[in-house]
Structure 1
Amino acid sequence: MKATRQLCRAALLAGLFVLAVVLAAATLMWVTEADGRAGGWSAEGRIFVLLLLTLAGAGGAYLVIAGWYARYVNGPLRMAEDLAAVATHSGLRLPEQVTPELRTLGQAANQLLAARDALERDVAERVREARASLEEERSRLAALMADLSQSVVVCNLDGRVLLYNQRAKQELSAGPDGSNGELLGLGRSIYTVFDRALIEHALERLQSASRDAGGEAGVDRKKLLGSAQFVTATRAGRLLRAHMSPVLGSDGQPGAQVAGLSITGFVLVLDDVTSTNERHARRDALIQSLIEGGRGPLGSLRAAAEMLSDFSDMPAQQRDRFLGVIRDEASVLSTQFETAAAAFSNDLRERWLLEEILGAELVEVAARRIAERGNAGQHKLAVKSEQIDDGLWLRVDSFGLLQALSYLALRLQDEYEVREVRLSLQRSGHLAQLDLYWTGTFLNNEAAMIWLQDPMNIGSESSPLSVVDVIERCNGEIWFQRERVSHRAFFRTMLPAAEAPKDLPRAIISAAEGERPEFYDFDIFHWSGGSHELDDRPLAELSYTVFDTETTGLEPSAGDEIIQIGATRIVNRRLLRHECFDQLVDPKRPLSQQSVKVHGITREMLTGQPVIATVLPTFHAFCADTVLVGHNAAFDMRFLQLKERQSGVRFDHPVLDTLLLSAVLQPNQNTHRLEAIAERLGVSVFGRHTALGDAMVTGEVFLKMLPLLAEMGITTLRQAREASERTYHARLRY
């Protein structure tokens, strides 16, 4: 198409040149003949007449050929662009053409499009009938999840959210001040809510347990037992107990391979245990206060009672004195009981919830983690396990305990060049004895105590807790000890043992195995961000934040400010209208009447709204791990960039602009305004000149553009950005 256009333009210029030469020659001949008849013209007169006639002829020829070019060259090119758009989306038709030939061709194309649409409607009806039962199952699932008192989140191995219920969104998206931080959403990372190391530790435990169970004879690999539990806190300060179960796929399915099966994701079931923990803490505090406060009065009562019992002939005055002691101490006890009951509602101390874990599993994970981190440096660190009681269960904070063991082992490697450490776990009465020991290099007691009391800093990871803090949280004790005869030194930890759980929840088996109804569309299970760079990812696989702003004016560098930000998200090629960001902003400056006429936002509507420095960090969190999409995005991005220092956040996301993409797809169109693009692509325009309304329209337009870009061979983010940068409109700056 581009070559045809260039050829036509070259033919036009050649025609004009030939026509000008012919006219000049004809004029010269006419002037020569006239000169012979009329007695001669001056040279200047002949030249003037020659130039005048040549210009007139060239101008007339240009108008004729330009009109022909617009009708028979540019017209077919615009028709081809329109046909590419309507052929991709049902229900659209070619507009009426100017020339009779193109009009006939357009009518024939519209007849074919109508036949195609009828066929697609028939296929769609059959698909709707086939999916009726599936939609019914999904509706039942939605109703069940809506009524659950627990939060449920399903993720793939990359931590991308595939499914969540409303309870989870309420609990996990709340900020420290109780505001909605929009942290949870389809396709978003669960690591914006929970600590990555905590989730990875739980996944590692799942894989380790499943691997051990899969190796046992007679165990059905598709019904493996395995789950993990941990306790964490939300940004709003709520304490949650999380139960993690794996989602297992069939043999050969992509994922973490375990015993012939693949873990393709995990399910988190979350219980808010804040109130339960607080209630237990108040109960413990009450008991402690009664014990400590009652010891003295009870001793006095006992002594007075013994004196009265042993000396029955005691004088009356002395007897009355002992009776007074009994009365006074009983009153003290009564007051203490009343005070304890009145103070029952106060939060006196915090208690950390622990989890039950198989000790051998904990040691295996600890050995693997220490070896991985120890081998990252110049000197290697070997880790061995011996004397492990395979049936011993512990009740501990496993994440903190692993941090403590790794911290001690790596300090031994770094500061004393220890090349091998060993782990052992044995039962000692009702306790479990966990030893981390080595040979040949001794610590002194003072250094060992400092290590146990210091905050745990391991490489890039840091924790405000010390080893002693973690062990005390687990209701255990730790000390350093040396054995000179065997040349061994060790850190010995005594921990409470637990009984083995009687009923372990089963892992969730893939829907392909028929173990449960297929009630979801989990295409994101197969997404993985770790396998290739974002620029080389297919456009259809990326998550997008489509956004728009309303401002006080059109000159960001001259002091105009944002007064509204609206955004929605696209995940798995679906516009998520329920996952929106819509916030008015107080610009702290007057509004012009011209801007009010455009967006309808008045000064009164902005009074009491947050300032831009407060809004942008929240919006930045909403945009996490996505590509930004806007119409004339350079305008909106300039406003965001000018506020980087004030807000403390930098929007360095990849950006796609529907204005530039429209110029890539339809370069022969006269305008690339959002309304015009929407009309060409069959998108209904609503809510214009509100930030959220414009973002919704832009999102619909962008989704319509994706198949058109694919037909042009533009399938990756890199290709889309490079094609956009080559357009004329990319030169626009603000």
Structure 2
Amino acid sequence: MRNQRLLIRPLVLVALALAVLLAVAVGLVYFTLDAPGRAQFARLLGPRAALLVLAWALGVVAAMAALQRWWVPRVSALPELAEQTRALVNASAPLQLKARAQADQQPLADAVNALAAQRDALRADVSAEVARASASVRLERNRLAALMSELTQSVVVCNRDGRILLYNQRARRQFRVLSDAPQLADGAELIGIGRSIYAVFDKKLVAHALDSIGQRLARGAAQPSAQFVTATRGGQLLRVQVAPVTDTDGGDGAPGTAALGGFVLMLDNITRSFEEETARGQLLHGLTEGSRASLASLQAAVEMLGYDDLEPAMRERFLGVLRDEVRTLAGRVDEVARQSADSLRTRWPLEEMQGAEFLAVAARQVGAQCGVPVTAAPADARLWLKLDSFSMLQALTYLGQRLVDEFAVRALTLRLAAQGTRAQLDLVWTGHAMSTETVMSWEMDAMRIGAETHPLSVRDVVERHDAEMWFERDRAAHQAFFRFLLPLASSGDEAAEGLAEVESRPEFFDFDLFAVSESDAALDERPLSELVYTVFDTETTGLNPSGGDEIIQIGAARVVNGRLLRQESFEQLVDPGRDIPAAGIPIHGITPDMVVGQPRIDEVLPAFHQFAQDTVLVAHNAAFDMKFLQLLEPRTGLRFQQPVLDTLLLSAVVHPHQESHRLEAIAERFGITVLGRHTALGDALVTAEVLLKLTPLLRDMGIVTLGQARAAAQQSYYARLKY
């Protein structure tokens, strides 16, 4: 269609020129003849006028063929070359123009490529200089990131508008506990770079704390802070300490004029300690209140026994009352003592540790102490324990040493596996079994390792962990083992379940957000570079949303402050409740077995809705994905009312002369590596990178704000697509 538009105008001009040329030729011949000649010329030409029209038509056809062959390719190639050159100019990575089909344009493309190569070389030199100059800054940032990642306290740093600009791993685990859908969104709908902390905490609580800090700053306090306790939607109790992030001075260097640039939140989950304090209070209350009646009875009986004229029968009766009340009181005190002892034993501070890491450490220590090979069987990386690692290592070492010394065991194996809400830790050997009496003796004796005797026994270690331990023999495998049933790091204890796949020090910070403040202007009036985007994609059973096709996967990533936050992503398979056509499986790779047991869209969509809250939605061919979401509104009650940008339409705005605006074609033009194509998250990540490449090109065209981008997109040819 674009080539036809390029052909029509020159073809009309050629046709008119041929008609004028033919008319001029006929007119010149006619006017050069005398009167008889003109009459004869008219008689000869009249019946043959159709031949002139045919000759003109043949000339037009020949001209059209020539234009189609030589003119159109050259004219259409120039705008295409210009668009590709603009993309090359804005490319952040080295990019070259492809070879041109027109030989006369190849020297121009070569010259552009040469300039681009020089630009890339100069850019590399500048980048190297900048890298050397900012090495110290990066070092400090890395040190801070490392420190934050290793802190055992949840830390969240926000700018003055409450937008999160830094958080550590502990905070991510904490927010996962607070999530309504921890298995789906993993807490990402609550915490993330650029997200508002007020999605979790009441803004009035934080504002009150900041107001108190501001007053102390005004009075010249050096390190003011405030704290409050709040309950989350899930019933968790959090103690939040607030500390200010201030400018070094108030702008004029005067003391006491520091301006509040942001704040730090340090979070402690006090749910368990609060419950323990409540239980202890109830225990004490029960002891005092429950003992009042017994003490009154004892006091009355003692007073009556003091009378000399008391009859023997009555004396015996009061003695019986004394004995009964003493037994009742003693039983109550024993019960309180038992509960208190249990509480003290189980309140020993236990730490969270990855199971595979504990096995590796235990294998090294037991092997070094016992002098025999110790093998650690592979363990699930998602398995985390809650234990006193030192005492548990001592127990394993003690048992291993006794096996080697008394039964001449030559090799040991450690294995770990989940068993319901507990973890099975086995110390395995091949060889002699032992009697129950021997096991009980080893369990109760004080642990002796080498020449050192420890005050604890294996039984003490087991009780410290509120665990269980026994001996078992596997006759089929000719093996015996001690089994410890240990507590897992549960979600209520802010466990790190599911976080082992995250890098040890992910990039969870963006200090540039300190300079970003909320604008009261409407979203349409805000620059594209200042917006927060949720770039998403869906995989579906088919291409007909109105015909019963369903979503089978949703993937999304966030773009904040011009950066793609790959770590803050959303990806979830969905059980569509219907068959997945075999024809689509080679495209998206999702088989019926993969969605068995997965949540339905009614469970997944609320988590995605919260993940995308307060952001601009972005998709490639967004009309298709949005149609599915709109059709789900009556079923789920959820509406996605935020603005939507479509990278397909924006590409057509920026590059109107390109033949294709498929996601792969756009990625190739921008030099974007495509990974995970036709998976929801993979396509979302590519779309996000395309958005970041399109933004500066739109700015060069004078399209700066969201409203301008939406208006320009609606003028493109592809905006007519409906589903």
Pairwise same-fold verdict (TM > 0.5): yes
**Deviation at 1:566?**
0.3
Aligned to 1:263: 260
2:288 aligned partner, one-letter code: I
Q: Which amino acid aligns with 1:281?
A: T
What is the CA-CA distance between 1:305 and the residue it aligns to? 2.0
Look up the match of 1:319: 315
Match of 1:201 in 2: 208
- 1:559 aligned partner, one-letter code: G
SS for the counterpart of 1:173 is helix
CA displacement 1:373-396 (0-9 Å, x = unmatched): xxxxxxxxxxxxxxxxxxxxxxxx
Give a deviation string over 1:636-675, Cα, whole Å, max 9, x none.
Answer: 0111011112112110111111101110111000110000
After TM superposition, list the pairs within 5 Å mapping 1:15-414 onto structure 2: 15-23=14-22, 46-89=48-91, 90-174=93-177, 175-176=179-180, 178-179=182-183, 180-182=186-188, 183-211=190-218, 213-214=219-220, 224-250=222-248, 260-308=257-305, 310-311=306-307, 314-340=310-336
- What are the equivalent positions in structure 2 for 1:597-616 lying under 5 Å apart? 597-616=586-605
SS at match of 1:103: helix
In the alignment, which residue of structure 2 is the partner of 1:514?
none
Distance 1:112 1:38, change over 3 A: closer
Matches within 5 A, 1:704-719: 704-719=693-708
Deviation of 1:120 after TM superposition, in Å, equals 0.7
Which residue does 2:418 correspond to in 1?
Answer: none
> What CA distance in whole angstroms lies between the structure 1 residues aligned with 2:665 and 2:678?
15
TM-score normalized by the length of structure 1: 0.69
Q: Give the direction of change, closer, same or farther, for the CA distance of 1:521–1:46 in structure 2 (3 Å limit).
A: same
Match of 2:611 among 615, 622, 631: 622
TM-score by length of 2: 0.70
1:181-214 CA-to-partner distances (Å, cap 9, x unmatched) read 4210000111111122222222222223323x14
- Which deviations, in whole Å up to 9, do the C-alpha atoms of 1:611-633 show, x marking residues without a partner? 11111111010011111111001
Q: Which residue of 2 aligns with 1:588?
A: 577
Structure 1 residues 666-696: Cα deviation after superposition (integer angstroms, max 9, x where no partner): 1000110000000000001111111001001
Q: CA deviation at 1:67?
A: 3.4
- Aligned pairs for 1:440-479 (under 5 A) are none
Question: What SS is found at the alignment partner of 1:237?
Answer: coil
Contact 1:247-1:266 within 8 A present in 2 as well = yes
The code of the aligned residue for 1:532 comes to: A
Looking at structure 2, the residues matched to 547 and 39 of structure 1 have their Cα atoms a distance apart, in angstroms, of 75
Paired residue for 1:13?
Answer: 12
Greater Cα shift, 242-251 or 579-588:
242-251
1:646 paired residue among 635, 640, 650: 635
The aligned residue for residue 687 of structure 1 is 676
Are 1:667 and 2:656 matched, yes or no?
A: yes
Shift of 1:718: 1.3
The residue number in structure 2 matching 1:578 is 567
Residue 205 to residue 69, structure 1, CA distance change in 2 (3 Å): farther
CA distance in 1, matches of 2:10, 2:214: 71
Q: State the 1:561 CA deviation.
A: 1.0
Specify the alignment match of 2:622 in structure 1. Answer: 633
Quickly say closer, same or farther: Cα 1:208–1:115, change in 2 above 3 A.
Answer: same
**2:261 counterpart letter in structure 1:** T
What is the deviation of 1:26? 5.9
Do the aligned partners of 2:652 and 2:716 also contact (CA within 8 Å) in 1?
Answer: yes
- Decide whether the 8 Å contact of 2:555 with 2:570 is kept in 1: yes
Please tell me whether the aligned partners of residues 532 and 616 of structure 2 are also in contact (alpha carbons under 8 angstroms): yes
* Alpha-carbon contact 1:244-1:266 (below 8 Å) kept: yes
- Whole-angstrom distance in 2 between the partners of 1:720 and 1:253: 38
Shift of 1:57: 1.1
Q: What CA deviation, in whole Å up to 9, does each residue of 1:210-260 have, x standing for no partner?
A: 23x14xxxxxxxx63421110012333221100001111255669xx9953
Q: Is the 8 A contact 1:150 1:271 kept in 2?
A: yes
Q: Distance in 2 between matches of 1:683 and 1:27?
A: 62
Q: Distance in 2 between matches of 1:336 and 1:42?
A: 133
Letter in 1 for 2:327: S
Q: Match for 2:298: what amino acid?
A: L
Aligned-partner Cα distance in 2 for 1:631–1:35:
70
Tell me the distance in 2 between the aligned counterparts of 1:150 and 1:628.
33
Question: Does 1:731 find its partner at 2:692?
Answer: no
Mapped to 2, the partners of 1:253 and 1:633 lie a distance apart of: 47
Q: Does the 8 Å CA contact 1:27/1:50 hold for their aligned counterparts?
A: no
Alignment of 1:501-520 (within 5 A): none
Instruction: Please tell me whether the aligned partners of residues 641 and 650 of structure 1 are also in contact (alpha carbons under 8 angstroms).
Output: yes
Is the 8 Å Cα contact of residues 209 and 226 (structure 2) preserved in structure 1? yes
CA distance in 1, matches of 2:658, 2:329: 91
Unaligned runs of 5+ in 2: 344-507
Where in structure 1 are there 5+ consecutive unaligned residues?
A: 215-222, 348-518
**Residue 567 of structure 1 aligns to a residue in which SS?**
strand
1:184–1:190: 8 Å Cα contact kept in structure 2? yes
* Corresponding residue of 1:546: 535
Judged with a 3 Å threshold, the aligned counterparts in structure 2 of structure 1 residues 205 and 92 are, in CA distance, closer, same or farther, namely same
In the superposition, relative to structure 1, how do residues 6 and 632 fare at CA in structure 2: closer, same or farther (>3 Å)? closer
CA, structure 1 residues 613+273, in 2 after alignment: closer, same or farther (shift >3 Å)?
same
Measured in 1, the distance between the counterparts of 2:180 and 2:14 equals 74
The structure-2 alpha-carbon separation of the partners of 1:7 and 1:559, relative to structure 1 and needing over 3 Å to count, comes to closer
Distance 2:630 2:247 in 1: 44
User: Displacement, 1:11?
Assistant: 4.9
User: Which residue identity does 1:46 align to in structure 2?
Assistant: R
Between the aligned partners of 2:45 and 2:81, the Cα distance in structure 1 is 54
Q: What code does the residue aligned with 1:101 have? A: D
Query: Over aligned residue pairs, what C-alpha RMSD do you find?
Result: 3.2
Note the alpha carbon deviations across 1:294-336, whole angstroms, 9 max, x for none: 001011112222333x235644433322221111001111232
Distance 1:26 1:554, change over 3 A: farther
Mapped partners of 1:208, 1:252: distance in 2: 15
- Shift of residue 176, structure 1, vs aligned partner: 4.1
Change (3 A) 1:690 1:35: farther
Whether the 8 Å CA contact 2:6–2:72 is kept in 1: the answer is no
- Bigger mean CA offset, 337-346 vs 530-539: 337-346
Separation (CA, whole Å) in 2 of partners of 1:95 and 1:321? 110
